[in-house]
Homo-oligomer: A and B are copies of this chain.
Amino acid sequence: MVANREQIARAAIRRLNADPVASMTQIAESAGVSRATLHRHFASREELMGELGRLSVASWRQVLDDAGVDEAVAEGSAAAITAALDALCHHWIRDVEEFGFALTETGAYGHDELLIAVEEQHAREHAFYAAAQHAGVVRGDMSAVWIAHAAFGLLVGLREALRRGDIAVRDGERLLRESFLRGCAA
């Protein structure tokens, strides 16, 4: 099988999820290609990270699409918002499993057009949490922007818990949802 650019990038993400400091040589091994082939597709680690950033932002956009956050904002009812929030928790798990590494890989988001895409997804999330506050689904005593950061942070925590093998994959969605919505106090 001759691996193409996207196949190599996806193999790189899987390797980096498990081992965030994997070298380009180790990444080539995991992708089943020679170091020369890896370099033909990605001249540098920076270029590879840029591609991972692009795939990761596309995945984030897809999660928001799949959860129907824009439609829920337009509808505005507590029922619609609650359903979208529930769907978000469900789809986030897939995103963390596939793109966990890129969540905090700052080198992945250096390009201007990617930064614009990142800000677009942030804006969609903020509009969603503001609508959730308006509908009485989410607390009103914390800003919608903070609530988005809290959710992001819990995804990073989930990534670490999975990478260390500290929680079961099947438990991830419940732990995320409960921690995000109801917190850890008894």
Residues of A within 8 A of B (CB): 20-21, 104, 106-107, 110, 133, 136-143, 145-147, 149-158, 160-161, 166-167, 171, 175, 178-186
Q: Is the CB of B146 within 8 A of A106?
A: no
Q: Is the CB of B175 within 8 A of A181?
A: no
Selected contact of A150 from candidates B21, B139, B146, B184, CB within 8 Å: B184
Q: Is the CB of A21 within 8 A of B153?
A: no
Give chain B nearest CB distance to A144 CB in angstroms.
10
Q: Is the CB of A139 within 8 A of B184?
A: yes
Q: Is the CB of B186 within 8 A of A183?
A: no
Q: Is the CB of B156 within 8 A of A175?
A: no
Give chain B nearest CB distance to A131 CB in angstroms.
13
Q: Is the CB of B153 within 8 A of A156?
A: yes
The 4 nearest A-B residue pairs measured at CB: A153-B157, A183-B183, A104-B104, A181-B185
Give chain B nearest CB distance to A147 CB in angstroms.
5
Q: Which residues of B contact A146 (CB under 8 A)?
A: 161, 166-167, 171, 175, 179
Q: Is the CB of A157 within 8 A of B149?
A: yes
Q: Which residues of B contact A185 (CB under 8 A)?
A: 137-139, 181-182
Give chain B nearest CB distance to A73 CB in angstroms.
17
In the assembled complex, the Cα of A139 lies from the Cα of B184 at a distance in Å of 6
Given contacts A139-B184, A149-B158, list 5 more A-B pairs with CB under 8 A: A133-B186, A139-B178, A149-B157, A182-B182, A182-B185
